[in-house]
């Protein structure tokens, strides 16, 4: 199993709740530095400043094991984007890449000019916007603003940002 957690204020914890098996359980939390505490049912994840991956291995008294993977993101780091795109065909910085996009549902991207005119919109954004308008024409170099609407659990949320197009 794989779970994703978001920390909006860099404070939090993850708690394991076990169903089935035969108590007593041991818990092994493994991160990049292989930190282990065999009796700890919770893991302090305060201060996450980058994507962090944990593996949790739970073992019951009979030796039966189950494993879960947990990805932890700071929301500010997760929904960050490349500030400049250069859709000039050199295959570098060609598209508006937004981190963690693949873990959200119902992603609608809207691109606006600095005057607030909608120039591009797509449902189910997949990270492929390359500086074009709704007709596929390359937009002029300059500053644009985006709004990404996405489903986060049961709530629709939005993230706003800016992007500059440079083709020269």
Cross-strand partners of 165:
85, 142
Q: Where is the domain boundary, 20, 42, 75?
A: 75
Question: What pLDDT was estimated at residue 79?
Answer: 52
In terms of residues, how long is the chain? Answer: 168
Q: What is the pLDDT of residue 51?
A: 63
Question: Residue 58 corresponds to which tokens in the numbers above?
Answer: 């739970």
Considering the domain architecture, whether residues 39 and 84 belong to the same structural domain is answered as: no
Nearest to residue 165, comparing CAs of 94, 102, 67? Answer: 94
Question: Does this model's pTM top 0.75?
Answer: no
Distances (CA, A) of 54 to 29, 31, 33, 44: 6, 5, 10, 11
**Section 95-103 average pLDDT:** 78
Both 48 and 96 in one domain: the answer is no
* Residue 95 and residue 37 share a domain: no
Query: Residue 92 sits in a domain of what CATH number?
Result: 2.60.40
Spatial separation of the C-alpha atoms in residues 29 and 24, rounded to whole Å: 17
Q: Out of 56, 75, 94, pick the residue that ends a domain.
A: 75
Cα separation, 134 vs 73, in Å, equals 32
Domains held by the chain: number: 2
- CATH number of the domain to which 21 belongs: 2.60.40.10
User: Do 87 and 154 sit in the same domain of this protein?
Assistant: yes
Please say if the pLDDT value at position 108 is more than 60.
Answer: yes
Question: Quick one: 40 and 88 in the same domain?
Answer: no
Q: What percent of the chain has pLDDT over 90?
A: 28
Range of the domain at 98: 80-165
- Residue whose tokens read 């659990």: 153
pLDDT at 13: 61
Indicate whether 43 pLDDT > 70.
no
């Amino acid at each position: 199993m794989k779970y994703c957690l978001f920390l909006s204020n860099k404070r939090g914890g993850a708690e394991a709740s076990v169903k089935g098996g035969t108590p007593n359980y041991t818990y092994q939390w493994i991160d990049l530095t292989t930190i282990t505490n065999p009796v700890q049912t919770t893991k302090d994840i305060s201060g996450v400043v980058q994507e962090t991956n944990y593996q949790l291995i739970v073992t019951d008294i009979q030796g039966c094991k189950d494993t879960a993977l947990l990805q932890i993101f700071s929301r500010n780091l997760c929904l960050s984007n490349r500030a400049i795109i250069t859709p000039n065909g050199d295959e570098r910085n060609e598209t508006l890449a937004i981190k963690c996009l693949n873990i959200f549902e119902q992603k609608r991207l809207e691109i606006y000019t600095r005057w607030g005119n909608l120039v591009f919109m797509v449902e189910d954004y997949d990270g492929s916007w390359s500086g074009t308008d709704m007709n596929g024409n390359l937009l002029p170099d300059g500053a644009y603003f985006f709004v990404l609407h996405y489903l986060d659990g049961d709530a629709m949320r939005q993230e706003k940002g800016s992007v500059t197009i440079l083709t020269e």
